[in-house]
A and B are shown apart, each in its own frame.
Chain A
Amino acid sequence: MKVSTVRLPPPAFIDNYENVWPQVFNEIKLSLDLKAPAKVFVNIHPQSLWFNSIDMDRSCKKISPKDSFCDMNIPFMYFGEEQFYSPLGAYDFEVSPQDVSKWFEFGESLSSIEDFWGNRSFYGAKPARGAWEVAFNEAILREKVFRAMELFSQSLLKDVEELYLSGEVLYGYSNLAELLLMVLNSANVPGAWTLFLDKDSILGPVSALLGVDKDNVLSFLKEHQFLCMSHIFVVPEVPRAQVTSSDNITQALTLKKEGLFLVPPAADDVEVSVKVGKEAFEKSLSPSSLGIVFDTRKRPLGIPDSRVERLKLRDLLRKQISNWEV
């Protein structure tokens, strides 16, 4: 599968273009070096200003992301620019500049953040260039992950053992340690999950085909390995845990205080046994990019009101994961 990003002009100028779809389609074909395909499916939000401009012939079909994702029966979280999709439904993010300001690590005035926010809304998200824009995008992502995890703390998170992270906001995102930290800081219920990242950005495009050929799409997704980021254990009760490697070497972990504890990535599968109070369970874990993380901080996490305190807490956590190799 090939994926390419073709940017549409800002919707503010939409009236000034004619024959939008044929040109966009040609650009996609050009960027992917494709000839005319037999059928085309376009995944587009019905409220998008471009919706009516996608004026296609009978070989093309428009599908709303809501319809395409609702058939995807895997535990995913899809972070779009405006919307958020999951097996439980579609939601609007409605993130504000104030929300971004809360997580933004540069000492920037709210008015500057608002101005950039407004420009980004009008001209669309562009590839981040430089530390400032990377930090801006990360602040948006942090807020979105926080909201998504909050939304699903009593439903999806309790029922699943895997989480697949995808979406435009994550396309090209490579700071895995930071992303993992965002998930851990937002997970307010105890549990154990394996995190996967859609590193090749395929979930969005193939979702459009679900209604047409579900079996093929699901087998494609099975074959196409998502990146296994990490196995996370959110165990605020400070458990006893041990890890047994494939050559039967057992390592008992010292989890005596609140914090993040890392078992570095292993080349082979490992067995993990965890005992929390009287409850005990074992899991066989495959290799992952970041290894296994035990998060024993008490829940709900006290995220300080003061921005300075929030950033201090974040820096402390970053220090703990600074030797994570990605």
Chain B
Amino acid sequence: MRAVVLKKYVYNESAFVERQLPSDGKIVVSVGAKVRSFDKLGECIYSERSQDFSYEGELVKSEGELVYSDDVIWAKKKGPFGSVVGRAPFSGVIVDVDDEKKTYKLERKPRDFTLISGVPGVVEDIVAGKSVLVKTKALEISGVGGKGSDSSGEIVVIGSYGSEPADFSELGDLSGKIIACGVLSPYLYSKAKLFGVSGFIAGSVSYSLYKDLDVRGDVPVVVLEGFGQIPMNPFVFDYLKGIASRFVVINPGSGKAIIYETRPLAWVDNSAEIYADVLEGQVVQVFAHEAFGLFGTVLGAEKGRVKVDVWDLKKTVPFLPGCVGIVLSRGTLPAPL
């Protein structure tokens, strides 16, 4: 019995990472230079996109005033003893106050931007004043898609492989970080957006959130497994947890997360097969409605069906070979649950 091999994970000895300045500036390395993760590649003066906000009660800051992240911007009395306040999500200047609509714009302050390599490697090419192409060794995790611009940052893993975090206090300081999570909900997305998160690697998102993401303006997202409540492959989730705080690059255009690795990982099969025999012990992803996107271990094949121990269902289900994709074919991986 044959099935399609889903090559979601590839160890690439010659991975190319393009690092771009957010606006025109100066590249400070030359072609052929060896760079480490935190080496400076370039610099520019950069002002991030301004953002519109609404407020309640009264503004306690004036138009034209400079505010810093977490400064109180507005306050509204709530009963005789208390009040609610709104704080600045980032530093900037208050402009375009509209007292009738109760809106204002926070214009980010121009700041010095330093472009770092993000990955160790060799500078392969340069576009003067704009970008640097670094050749490196990396694990490339391919998702089904992504939205937004290329981004990078230290990885932070939150929640579990199959859900968003129950307690949002664990979000902490996520500014500039790449968040990996099982399920990215609209609430988590909006929260993280306020915290200045640099990007997401998510197991799944809802189709409605995904289709509404603005390619340019919003926080970039790479979706690994699909839409709805599909958990991230537990192996990948555990791997990402194990490399917490490592610098990663996400490329939503190709739906990839690129992670520097000096050597191939044991669970990543780098064979070039598109089709393979279905064998006991393989890890497969299921594409039937009742278990769409879930992972499981092949227990065997009989009567034209593949018997899969679907981890999250905690039961064995027979599927047509056309309804499964072989994800990991090492054959010795135990169910992680």
Contacts and interface: CB of A to CB of B under 8 A. Distances in A.
B210 A23 contact: no
B65 interface: no
Nearest to B223: A122
Given A9-B325, A130-B288, A132-B289, A119 B227 contact: yes
Given A20-B274, A126-B323, A12 B207 contact: no
Interface residues of A, number: 36
B170 interface: no
Contacts of A118: 207, 210-211, 226-227
B104 to A, nearest CB: 33
Given A9-B7, A24-B274, A111-B206, A126 B226 contact: no
Interface string A17-36: 11110011001001100000
Nearest to B288: A129
Given A9-B274, A10-B144, A118-B226, A16 B10 contact: yes
B182 interface: no
Interface in A161-220: none
Nearest to A23: B274
In the A-B complex, the 6 residue pairs with the closest CB atoms: A115-B228, A16-B7, A118-B207, A114-B207, A118-B227, A115-B227
Interface string B43-57: 000000000000000
Given A126-B287, A127-B320, A12 B273 contact: no
B292 A116 contact: yes
Contacts of B273: 23
B277 to A, nearest CB: 11
Pick the most buried of A5, A117, A118, A127: most chain B CB atoms within 10 A of its CB. A118
Given A15-B254, A123-B287, A115 B274 contact: no
B137 to A, nearest CB: 16
A133 B288 contact: yes
Given A9-B325, A24-B274, A126-B288, A111 B6 contact: no
A136 B287 CA distance: 14
Interface string B139-150: 010111100000
Given A9-B6, A13-B142, A118-B226, A111 B208 contact: yes
Contacts of A133: 288-289
A7 interface: yes
Nearest to B318: A129
Contact of B208 (A7, A8, A114, A132): A114
Contact of B289 (A7, A10, A18, A129): A129
Query: Helix, strand, loop or mixed for chain A's interface?
Result: helix
A85 B226 CA distance: 30
Interface string A250-280: 0000000000000000000000000000000
A116 B292 CA distance: 8
B144 A12 contact: yes
Contacts of B274: 8-9, 17, 20, 23-24, 27
Contacts of A7: 4, 322
B7 to A, nearest CB: 4
Contacts of B255: 12
Interface in B310-324: 319-320, 322-323
Nearest to A110: B208
Given A16-B10, A111-B208, A112-B228, A23 B142 contact: no
Contacts of A115: 206-207, 226-228
B33 interface: no
Nearest to A133: B289
B272 A17 contact: yes
A15 B319 contact: no
Contacts of A31: 2
Contact of A123 (B2, B7, B144, B228): B144
Interface string B153-172: 00000000000000000000
A130 B227 contact: no
B4 A127 contact: no
A246 to B, nearest CB: 43
